[in-house]
A and B are shown apart, each in its own frame.
Chain A
Amino acid sequence: MLSMEELQACVADPKLAVARVVELLQTLRSESEEMRAWAADALQQIECLPAANLGAIGPLCMDSYPVVANWACKMTSRIAGARSGAEETLLRTLTLHPHVEVRQQAAKGLGHMGALHPSTLAAMQTLLERGIDQTDARLARCIRRALQPQPTTPPGPCAP
Chain B
Amino acid sequence: MKRKLLYPAAAFLVLSVASYFGCDLASIPRSVPTDDGPRAAASPGEAPAGPSTIPDRTPQTLLIGSFNMQRLGPSKLSKPWVLEKFAHIIRSFDVLALQEITSQDQTTLDQLLRIVNSDGSQYAYTISPRIGRAATGYYEQYAFVYDSQRVVSGPQFAYVVQDQADLLHREPFVGRFQARTDLGQAFSFSLINIHTDPDEIDTELDVLAQVVASVRQFEYPEDDVLLLGDLNSAPGRLGQLDRLPNVVALIQAVPTNTRGSKTLDNVLIDRTTTTEFTGRSGVIDLASWFKISQEEALMISDHLPVWAEFAIVEQPTMTTAAAGSPAIRR
Task: Name A's B-contacting residues (CB within 8 A).
Answer: 4, 8, 11-12, 28, 33-34, 36-41, 44, 66-67, 69-71, 74, 99, 101-102, 105, 108, 112, 137-138, 141, 144-145, 148
Q: Are B8 and A137 in touch, CB under 8 angstroms?
A: yes
Q: Are B138 and A37 in touch, CB under 8 angstroms?
A: yes
Interchain nearest-CB distance for B124 vs A (Å) = 25
Interface residues of B in 26-79 (CB under 8 A from A): 70-71, 73-75
Q: Are B134 and A101 in touch, CB under 8 angstroms?
A: yes
Q: Are B135 and A70 in touch, CB under 8 angstroms?
A: yes
Question: Does B137 lie at the interface of the complex (its beta carbon under 8 Å from any beta carbon of A)?
Answer: yes
Chain A residues contacting B200 (CB-CB under 8 Å) are 108
Q: Are A101 and B135 in touch, CB under 8 angstroms?
A: yes
Given the contacts A4-B75, A137-B8, A137-B165, A36 and B198 also touching, CB distance less than 8 Å = no
Given the contacts A74-B199, A108-B199, A148-B1, A34 and B71 also touching, CB distance less than 8 Å = yes
Bound CA span A116–B166, Å: 26
Chain A residues contacting B73 (CB-CB under 8 Å) are 33-34, 37
Chain A residues contacting B137 (CB-CB under 8 Å) are 28, 33, 36-37, 39-40, 67, 70-71
Chain B residues contacting A66 (CB-CB under 8 Å) are 134-135
Bound CA span A139–B18, Å: 31
Bound CA span A23–B199, Å: 22
Interchain nearest-CB distance for B235 vs A (Å) = 21
Q: Are A99 and B135 in touch, CB under 8 angstroms?
A: yes
Q: Are A137 and B166 in touch, CB under 8 angstroms?
A: yes
Given the contacts A12-B298, A66-B135, A137-B166, A44 and B198 also touching, CB distance less than 8 Å = yes
Interchain nearest-CB distance for A106 vs B (Å) = 11
Question: Does B136 lie at the interface of the complex (its beta carbon under 8 Å from any beta carbon of A)?
Answer: yes
Q: Are A37 and B135 in touch, CB under 8 angstroms?
A: no
A-B contact pairs, 23 of them (CB 8 A): A8-B75, A11-B302, A12-B298, A33-B137, A33-B138, A34-B75, A34-B103, A34-B138, A38-B75, A39-B137, A40-B136, A41-B70, A67-B135, A70-B136, A71-B136, A101-B135, A105-B135, A137-B165, A138-B166, A138-B167, A144-B4, A145-B203, A148-B1
Identify the closest chain A residue to B295 (Cβ).
Answer: A12
Identify the closest chain A residue to B70 (Cβ).
Answer: A41
List 10 other contacts, CB 8 Å, given A34-B103, A36-B138.
Answer: A37-B102, A37-B137, A37-B138, A38-B71, A44-B198, A67-B134, A70-B136, A99-B135, A138-B165, A138-B167
Chain B residues contacting A37 (CB-CB under 8 Å) are 71, 73, 102, 137-138
Bound CA span A8–B138, Å: 16
Identify the closest chain A residue to B77 (Cβ).
Answer: A34
Question: Does B106 lie at the interface of the complex (its beta carbon under 8 Å from any beta carbon of A)?
Answer: no
Interface residues of B in 120-150 (CB under 8 A from A): 133-139
Question: Which of B103, B137, B165 is packed against the most chain A CB atoms within 10 Å?
Answer: B137
Q: Are A101 and B104 in touch, CB under 8 angstroms?
A: no
Bound CA span A40–B140, Å: 13
Interchain nearest-CB distance for B166 vs A (Å) = 5
Chain B residues contacting A71 (CB-CB under 8 Å) are 136-137
Chain B residues contacting A28 (CB-CB under 8 Å) are 137
Chain A residues contacting B199 (CB-CB under 8 Å) are 74, 108, 112
Bound CA span A138–B133, Å: 13
Chain B residues contacting A144 (CB-CB under 8 Å) are 4
Chain A residues contacting B1 (CB-CB under 8 Å) are 148
Chain B residues contacting A39 (CB-CB under 8 Å) are 137
Please pick, from B70, B135, B167, the residue contacting A102 in the complex, using a CB distance under 8 A: B135
Identify the closest chain B residue to A103 (Cβ).
Answer: B135
Chain B residues contacting A38 (CB-CB under 8 Å) are 71, 75
Given the contacts A12-B298, A137-B8, A41 and B136 also touching, CB distance less than 8 Å = no
Bound CA span A67–B139, Å: 12
Chain B residues contacting A40 (CB-CB under 8 Å) are 136-138
Interchain nearest-CB distance for A79 vs B (Å) = 15
Interchain nearest-CB distance for A47 vs B (Å) = 11
Please pick, from A12, A74, A101, A148, the residue contacting B133 in the complex, using a CB distance under 8 A: A101
Bound CA span A145–B206, Å: 15
Interchain nearest-CB distance for B133 vs A (Å) = 6
Chain A residues contacting B203 (CB-CB under 8 Å) are 145
